Chain A
C-alpha cells in the first residue's frame, strides 16, 4: 500500500543500520522478516540499577502512519516499573501520540516527533529504567513502592523480574 511505503522504507533503512553497527544496551530486529512494522527488541537492564542483569524482551508495533504516529512498545518479559503498565505497555512521553494527554502529563516532556528513531526510542526506555518518573505512573502500585519502599518490596519485585528474564 502506498500510504505505508515511506514508512516501510524508513523502517527498512533502520533495520540495515542497526544490523551493521553494534549498539549499547539493546538489540532489535523483526519478529517476522515479512513484516517491517513489528519489531522484537531486547533491552539489557542498565548497570547499577535494580534492573541490572535483566534481559527484557519487548514488541515494538508501528502504525502504518509511522513516522507521523509513534509505535506502541510492550514488554513481553515481565517487568515491574512505575512507567510500564501491568500488561507491559511502556508509557513514556516520546511514545505518546501528539495531543494525547491520557496520562495527565503536565510537563509533557518531549513528545513523539517524526524524527525519532528506534534507537532514540530504546535509549529513552533505557533511561526510563534507570530513572523512573513516579509523577505520572502507569503502574500505581509500583510507583507507590518506588516512593515508599524502594529498597524493600520494590527491589524484591524488580529483582524477581530480572531473574525470570534470564531464564529465556
Chain B
C-alpha cells in the first residue's frame, strides 16, 4: 500500500520522524540540567577571546551555571524554575505569588484568553507550585521540570501571564513594537504565545512585573569589557540571575 492510498500513513511517518528528532535533542540536553562550574563555558569559546575574557569575569561573581535546553522556551523555563525554587525557600515571596496567581485566571479571561484552556494551564501551574512548596524536594522539582508534558504546561502559563501583562499595559509597551504589529494582541499571538518564540526584553519586563519577581540578566557577548548586568524591572533587587548569551538563557548561581 502506498502512502497515497493510505491517507494517515504519511502523517504517521512525519509524526514518527518529528518524535525521533525531539528524542535526539532530549537525550543530548535535559530541559533543565544539574548545575556545573561556570568555568566549563570556556571550552565552548576557545577561539573567541572576547567571550573568553567575559567568562573569566563571570567566574569571579558566579560559581555555577544551570543549563536550560535551547528550544525557544529557555527564558520562560528558566524563570519558572527559579520562581518555584525561590517560593519554596521564601515564605513572603510565596504568599505574594499565590495571592497574585489567584487573580490571574479571571484577569486573563477578561483580557480575551480562551477560558477553557487558560483555566487548565492556570490550575496546573498553581497546583504544581503549591505541591512543590508543601512537600517538594530538589529531586521532585528537577523531575517536574524535566517531564516534557508538565514542564511545557508550566511554560505555557508563564507565557500567558506575559501576554496578559503586555496587553494590560499596552500603552507602555506598544510604542516599542508599533509599526511592526497592529496591536499588542497581535504581538502576543505572534511573539509570546507560540511555543518556539524566545523572550526579548519586553517579555521579560512584563513577566517580572506581573509576578513581582525580578531578575538580573548577565549579558555575555563579543563586545569589549566585562559582562553587562541588567536588573529587570529597573530599581528592583533580584535574588536570581540569568545568563544571557545571544539567543539563549541559562541560570546562574553565586
Contact = CB atoms under 8 A, between A and B. Distances in A.
A127 interface: no
Interface in A1-44: 2-7, 9-10, 13-14, 17
A120 B114 contact: yes
Which size class do A's interface residues fall under? Answer: 35 or more
B107 interface: no
B90 interface: no
Contacts of A13: 116, 120
Given A6-B149, A88-B7, A111 B190 contact: yes
B133 to A, nearest CB: 20
A140 to B, nearest CB: 17
B197 interface: yes
A5 B197 CA distance: 24
Contact of B117 (A4, A5, A59, A117): A117
B139 interface: no
Interface stretch (B10-18, B50-58, B92-100, B211-219): B10-18
Contacts of A2: 147, 149-150
A68 B76 CA distance: 14
B170 interface: no
Interface in B153-194: 153, 156, 160, 189-190, 193-194
B148 interface: yes
Decide if the interface of chain B is mainly helix, strand, loop or mixed: helix
A65 interface: yes
Contacts of B117: 10, 67, 114-117
B12 to A, nearest CB: 8
Interface string B111-136: 00110111011001000000000000
B11 A68 contact: no
Contact of B116 (A68, A111, A117): A117
A61 B160 contact: no
Nearest to B3: A87
Contacts of B147: 2-3
A133 to B, nearest CB: 17
B152 interface: yes
B141 to A, nearest CB: 16
B114 A3 contact: no
A2 B143 CA distance: 11
B115 to A, nearest CB: 10
B4 A68 contact: no
A6 B156 contact: no
Given A87-B4, A108-B190, A110-B189, A115 B113 contact: yes
A113 interface: yes
A72 B12 CA distance: 10
Interface string B189-217: 11001111100000000000000000000
B1 interface: no
B193 A68 contact: no
A68 B195 CA distance: 6
A74 interface: yes
B128 to A, nearest CB: 10
B114 to A, nearest CB: 6
A99 interface: yes
Interface in B208-236: none
B22 A65 contact: yes
28 contacts: A2-B147, A2-B150, A5-B149, A6-B150, A7-B149, A9-B120, A63-B18, A65-B148, A69-B195, A72-B11, A87-B4, A87-B7, A87-B10, A98-B197, A110-B189, A111-B189, A111-B190, A113-B189, A113-B194, A113-B195, A114-B117, A114-B152, A114-B195, A115-B114, A115-B117, A115-B160, A116-B114, A117-B116
